[in-house]
Structure 1
Amino acid sequence: MGNSLLSVKSVTKRFGGIQAVGGISLELDHKEIIGIIGPNGAGKTSFFNLLSGMFIPDSGTITFDGREITRTDPATRARMGVGRTFQVVRPFKGMTVAENVMVPLLVHDATVSKAHSKAVELLGDLGIPQLADTPTEALTLAQRKRVEVARALATEPKLLLLDEVLAGLNSREVIDVLPFVTTVRDRGVTILMIEHIVSAVLEVSDRMMVLDHGKVIAEGDPQTVIKDPQVIEAYLGSEE
């Protein structure tokens, strides 16, 4: 895949005696959605931290949009088009939803009025224009998750790393939020998503990757991967 947007080759990361990421390789094409699953402690968020620049790998290389970024800082990666959400959603308090989305937009746009109109437009594209003037303190968890996605999109990413954007939601809220993933892809954004809700990953992913103890134990077509004996064992073994 010479034209891949993201190319990861054998990245590793250790913390003391623990290998958090053990030689992961990945090729991600433009406008592809790859779902990453695995039991707790599998290395999923550590892998995202390597991709976003919060961690520097001990070995291996990361190439994004034709440029090697293995040791590049998070701000540079964000400017290049690597966007990210976090497991714990922390909107800016004392501000409305539109103002929250305006913060990253103001990095690109000099005027407040232009940033505001773009923020409202973005909320409209994501189907939540009614939240624009809502104070963040008044939002439900599901709404905060959507605002987090909107803020990440405001950085104009080419690649969006979604870290458990469905975590903590009930089944009704998952049904409401899940279409956001394909809406984002339809905007031309490539997506890597970590998720515990396997059925959700199956629904939206083009490919699935399963991590266990920092290593890839299965990758490919989601319906095939989920039936892999190693994957079944990894999940059953994590419920002790």
Structure 2
Amino acid sequence: MDLDGKFAETVSRLRAALPRHTGWPFARRGAPYRAGEQRDQPSLAAPQRVVPPRAEEKPWWDLSRLTSLLPRRTGGAVKQPRQPAVARPRPARSAAPQPSTATAPRVEWLTAHGLEKSFAGRQVVRGVSLGLRRGEVVGLLGPNGAGKTTTFYMITGLIPADGGAIELDGFDVTSLPMYRRARLGVGYLPQEPSIFRGMTVEQNIMAVLELVEPDRRKRNQQLDQLLDEFSIARVRKSPAIALSGGERRRVEIARALASRPVFMLLDEPFAGIDPIAVNDIRALVRHLAGRGIGILITDHNVRETLSLIDRAYIIHDGQVLMEGTPQAVVAHDAVRQHYLGEDFSL
């Protein structure tokens, strides 16, 4: 038997094996055939896929699809699309004071009102208020643990205040970080050496000048002025690590002045320097006050500080015990009892 014959025989057997009650795929499933009914012969060809007619495509330039975006008439009225919500204008805030220039007004006062601070449930500052005016040297003094350092750090912005307010001519800076206060004219000179030890003297000062003065020629002029003003021009090329204690303090103050502060907060300016350099620091502080800069000093060297300042705030047990001139401070009975001692004299 040839191949065609074998194929025909196989097809016949497959047809005989198909169930008669289901019919071929187009018969109704489960419908019985009647006697003598002509059955549809099954087709071995694959069923044709019925493809629905495609809708007529519109050209890309047809704008009818955009009609859904147009306002529709509902009940005789035109329904307009919803307008975006407009944010309510915020109430105007008082403008931040600017450091004194030829056009900006002078900032005259740095004040603190009712400062409070607690650590681990223990209140260390209780309603401290003080004020610092331009061109004035004020001391913040008191025994150890009295809260003077905490008060000083809250004014600088190193630690946040739990209560109260810190203001520059009425502008509240209590929530501003330290660098924002520096831009408004509040400079800070820490107790620890803050000089860049891997740089020269002029590089230390120029690092700050580049942030505040875009003109290169003016930067160089201001650099020369600061070096001459603080008598450090002879060490301008020297590495900072080779400076003495007094020279280091001079460079730090010159660098702080490069940012054009209105107020300077000096933390322990007499710490870590020899007695000869103390006179230099005293002269430098008076020089800064002569330039119209307000100076706030906190230091443990009471005698040197009282001989330098115009006024003092004495902090005791987290509160201002008294405020006045150095002579009034020394003569105050409570100050002598809690802080200076009975034998203290200027």
Q: Is TM-score (shorter-chain normalized) higher than 0.5?
A: yes
Residue 206 of structure 2: aligned partner: 102
Stretch deviating more after TM superposition (117-126 or 158-167)? 117-126
Cα distance 1:208–1:107, how it changes in 2: closer, same or farther (>3 A)?
A: same
1:64-106 deviations in whole A, cap 9, x for unaligned? 1331111111111100000000011121122111111122211
Q: Give the Å deviation of 1:113.
A: 5.5
| Percent identity (aligned) | 38
Task: Give the Cα–Cα distance (whole angstroms) in 1 for the partners of residues 228 and 148 of structure 2.
Answer: 31
Task: Give the Cα–Cα distance (whole angstroms) in 1 for the partners of residues 132 and 240 of structure 2.
Answer: 34
More helix by share: 1
Structure 2 runs not aligned, ≥5 long: 1-106, 342-346
Residue 139 of structure 1: aligned partner: 243
1:179 and 2:179 matched: no
Task: Give the Cα–Cα distance (whole angstroms) in 2 for the partners of residues 27 and 10 of structure 1.
Answer: 12
1:206 and 2:310 matched: yes
Q: Give the Å deviation of 1:59.
A: 0.8
One-letter amino acid of the counterpart of residue 159, structure 2: F
Instruction: Give the structure, 1 or 2, with the largest relative contact order (CA under 8 Å, sep 6 or more).
Output: 1
1:132-181 deviations in whole A, cap 9, x for unaligned? 22211101122212222112111111010011111122222211221000
Structure 1 runs not aligned, ≥5 long: none
Task: Give the Cα–Cα distance (whole angstroms) in 2 for the partners of residues 112 and 46 of structure 1.
Answer: 40
Map residues 77-92 of structure 1 onto 2, 5 A cutoff: 77-92=181-196
* CA-atom RMSD in angstroms: 1.9
1:45 and 2:153 matched: no
Cα distance 1:98–1:30, how it changes in 2: closer, same or farther (>3 A)?
A: same
Q: Give the Å deviation of 1:47.
A: 1.6
Report the 3-state secondary structure (helix = DSSP H, G, I; strand = E; otherwise coil) of the residue aligned with 1:57: coil
Task: Give the Cα–Cα distance (whole angstroms) in 2 for the partners of residues 82 and 6 of structure 1.
Answer: 9
Task: Give the Cα–Cα distance (whole angstroms) in 1 for the partners of residues 326 and 139 of structure 2.
Answer: 8
One-letter amino acid of the counterpart of residue 238, structure 2: T
How many residue pairs match? The answer is 235
Cα distance 1:186–1:168, how it changes in 2: closer, same or farther (>3 A)?
A: same
| Poorly superposed stretches of 4+, deviation over 3 Å | 111-114
TM-score by length of 1: 0.90
Asked if structure 2 preserves the Cα contact closer than 8 Å seen for 1:99 and 1:116, the reply is no
Task: Give the Cα–Cα distance (whole angstroms) in 2 for the partners of residues 220 and 236 of structure 1.
Answer: 15
One-letter amino acid of the counterpart of residue 50, structure 1: M
Residue 218 of structure 1: aligned partner: 322
Task: Give the Cα–Cα distance (whole angstroms) in 2 for the partners of residues 220 and 129 of structure 1.
Answer: 39
Report the 3-state secondary structure (helix = DSSP H, G, I; strand = E; otherwise coil) of the residue aligned with 1:204: coil
More strand by share: 1
Asked if structure 2 preserves the Cα contact closer than 8 Å seen for 1:4 and 1:27, the reply is no
Greater Rg by CA = 2
Map residues 87-166 of structure 1 onto 2, 5 A cutoff: 87-111=191-215, 114-166=218-270
One-letter amino acid of the counterpart of residue 279, structure 2: I
